[in-house]
Amino acid sequence: LAQVQRRIAGSSLALASAMAPVDDRAERMRQRLTAKSAQRSAGDGTLLSFLPSPKAEVAAGKPLSWFLWLAHAVLILVSLLLRTSLPVLVYSLLHAVYFVNFSRSDLQFQLRLICVLGSLGSLLSPLRLMMLSSLLVNLSADLGLGYNLMERALYCVPMNRPENPEAISLGFLLRVLREPSRPGQFSIKPGARLSAEPNFLEYATAKAERKKR
């Protein structure tokens, strides 16, 4: 009985030691990715300090960025009514240029760049209704519910989520779609399997070495 207990205790210790390095490696990987993201963001310093920050609160607890998106949505409606994309194209360009003052690489800048590309595409009459309607639906959901589908789609690109190295899978995509809306930039926690998977090769090696003893 004592020998069986010793074997069980030894197996538990070996399993724990096999899992620990995996957890440590996963944590170190996340730290390295976060550090790379911080270094990349460090190069996106403010160019003109006198311009107000998009995060500055303006009214009713809403930041300046919310009102800029509201104006964007209104101009999309104007463009649809006038059957010309010029108003929203000019505004989307100014909106993106303003945001370049604060960031040139992050997810929020990419959103504004997509709006510029969508406005350019709407210059083609056959595409105008589809492109502008898609932008309007996305902006309306973001302004009213805080749910931005384009932002969530961009989050799936690995370079946009250095803190979450999780591989793209059906489960990951469903979590991205179902994640509740929160203030600030969209993100989700890495899946539990990412850091909880034991290293059975190391466990088997440790077990073989104990048998030799």
pLDDT tens profile 3-57 = 545 565 555 555 455 454 444 555 655 555 555 454 444 445 677 777 888 888 9
Measured distance CA(165)–CA(155) in Å, rounded: 11
Measured distance CA(109)–CA(95) in Å, rounded: 10
Query: With 0-12 CB in 10 A as exposed, 13-18 as middle and 19+ as buried, what is 178?
Result: exposed
Taking a C-beta distance cutoff of 8 angstroms, is the pair 62, 55 a contact? Answer: no
Measured distance CA(142)–CA(151) in Å, rounded: 10
- Report residue 93 as tokens: 């360009």
Residue 206 has pLDDT above 80, yes or no: no
pLDDT tens profile 141-189 = 999 999 999 999 999 999 888 888 889 999 999 999 999 988 888 889 8
**pLDDT recorded at residue 184:** 80
Q: Rounded to two decimals, what is the model's pTM? A: 0.68
User: Side chain identity at 171, as an amino acid letter?
Assistant: G
Share of the chain above pLDDT 90, in %: 46
DSSP state of 160: G
